[in-house]
Structure 1
Amino acid sequence: MQRTTSDESRDPGSPFPVRKRVAFSQHGGYVAGARSAQGALSGRLVRLASNESAFPPLPGVMNAIHSEEDAVVRYPDNDASELRSRIAEHHGLSSSQVAVGNGSLALVEQLMHVLVDPGDQVIVGDPSFIGYSSVGKVAQADIVRVPLSGSSLDLEAMAVAITDRTRIIFVCTPNNPTGGIVGALELESFLKAVPTDVLVVIDEAYREFVDDPRAANGVDFLDRANVLCLRTFSKAYGLAGLRIGYGLGDPQLIAALRSVQLPFGVNALAQRAATLSLDSQTELEGRVATVVSERLRLEEALTDIGLDVRPSQGNFVWIVLEEDTASTVKALAARGVLIRGYGHGMRATIGSPADNDAFLTALTSVRDRTGE
């Protein structure tokens, strides 16, 4: 099923239309993890709301940040050439297949500029990463929300939801906030059902924490020109504050993304930190193993106190509640523990062992007080 409209321009050799834009709007609606809690008890605040790393930056990163005087005084490399080359090498690709952004969300916004016109459809899971909808609304897209199947995306239902107005489908795996994955065979079947002029964005912000052998790896599907894989340095690499993510895909699409990027949008310190982080894979793997071990411990402990905890492949756990979670999240915040609530579910980041213990203690206290 191929579609065209009167206001689109197609790059030579491009498998789907890319609409040229030069404007760069600000996304709205997305609220980052809380940095404080009103009414929190005195003492250390336990921040488990934003899936940040419990570890410091990888070796060499802080030394480089403190010593890179020119990175503060001078404008950064607008092309991020060294970093793009290192990312390409890391994944066995070419630099022409790599775009970097001020966090992967910046790349999502750039996608809206080159692919989406007002009234076009963007398909997302429900619930899934709120940034897709926030940025899509700014682009005046019609956001089509497809309920999950358990804690994972329902790809069959997403395929059924495709219409002649569909431009982008976001496949978040592991899904944020629920932690479910999309299997490789499932994704292969789904991609065969998606028209070649619809872009499938495989968002793998938490890929480093995946230990399920059935899970899809987005890089394995880059032979398709309508697939873009998103990764980030915010989670496992611990660079959330520096804001740096990247996309992997067809050179035609990558060139279009880079054509609408904000000039000097990725600062020099972030570029340097990310490049150095790629040189510390052994250290990274050790940290990831610790997070996965703590994830399992926390899931078991939460199950033992009678909660419905769904298996997660991210650096967080997902707890399903029958009642609205707002009161529980507020009560935890009053005890100095910040987590994220989503209607009838709660997401808690895997922190340090001490932070995880504090969360368990606070949650047990809340449940005992409410008689649950």
Structure 2
Amino acid sequence: MKILMVSMPTLHFFRWTDQLKDAGHEVFWFDILGMSGYVDKLDWVQQKVGWKLKYKYPGRTFLKKSFPKLYQFIQRFNERKTVEVFEKYLQEVNPNAVHSFAMQISCVPIIDILEKNKHIKWIYSSWGSDMFYLNSVNLLEIQVRRVLKRVDYFISDCHRDYKIAENYGFKGRFLGVFPGGGGYDFNLFDNDIVKPIKERKIISIKGYQGELGRCLQVLYAIKKLEDKIKGNKVVVFSADIEVVHYIEMLKKETILNIEYFEKEKFLPQNEIMKLMGKSLIYIGNSVSDGIPNTLIEAIVMGAFPIQSNPGGVSSELIKNNENGFLIENPEDNLEIESLIFKAISNDKLLEQSFEINQKDVKPKYELNFIKNKVVDLYNESLN
């Protein structure tokens, strides 16, 4: 079978697609943004990349940064239209199925074409806030309903979003809940990386701030707990600029041992996994998300998760007070402070959570376990 993947270039997409290697399908990728170069990691996939610009003139980056209005004017004439390039490529490939990842990016721009080609099966994978918080991804309800009316198959990273999709009129087949980037190869992370609870002295925090992220509320709580957590190191990764500024202030005004990695200085996934393998506690806080990949990574690597619960999504993975804590109000730093204190004050709970997550949760995210299920879902839906 021919499968045409439609996505922007991301690590999660690459990992998901790589599950189909040697599965017997002919796989193609249309980079919906059209700016990516050839991706060696997917050298077995036929790739439609780098199609967006008609002319790659020198000095584009400087012009975009220094004279944005002039750059935008030039680009009106220098950029190919997504719908035209996609339609031509669709006809060239003539796939049995199209699989789009993320609605606003990879479904809405091509809906006109797929409505004209209803004989082609369409699979849609929702990411992040696609279903839960439309405004955050610039989606209108009319767009969502139109896409879901045409989509044949739906994949999500949580059960919450399938229920929301049904409310928006989806009547196709739900293929199940899967982590957005597929499973994890635990052979890469031995016992030297997954530390026992007694050897862990790190509190790791996801540093997203802005419309959805609420890292600052976590740091407000951390500041109040500085005397109680002084034996631990605080590590903030993917830190937005507001978070960086606040951490610099904390360094001057508190005794906290705190380190950060800026969002722009991308921390590779393997490094995040290693960090989680040494972390006593992981904290992720936002007002909207699906099941965050970093939450999964924290759990499988043994960190005690404290995670916000927008729309009840995190409760699909965390049983409150058993294998983690749920933040019910991501804006309430007092609630977050209380949860952090309860965690660091209860060694028995931390040990219990570690055992539950390692024994019961981790195996569900093993690479080959997920891969086999993914291959099966393609085989069943395309036959």
Q: TM-score, normalised by structure 2?
A: 0.28
Higher relative contact order (CA 8 A, sep 6+): 1
Of structures 1 and 2, the larger Rg is shown by 2
Q: TM-score, normalised by structure 1?
A: 0.29
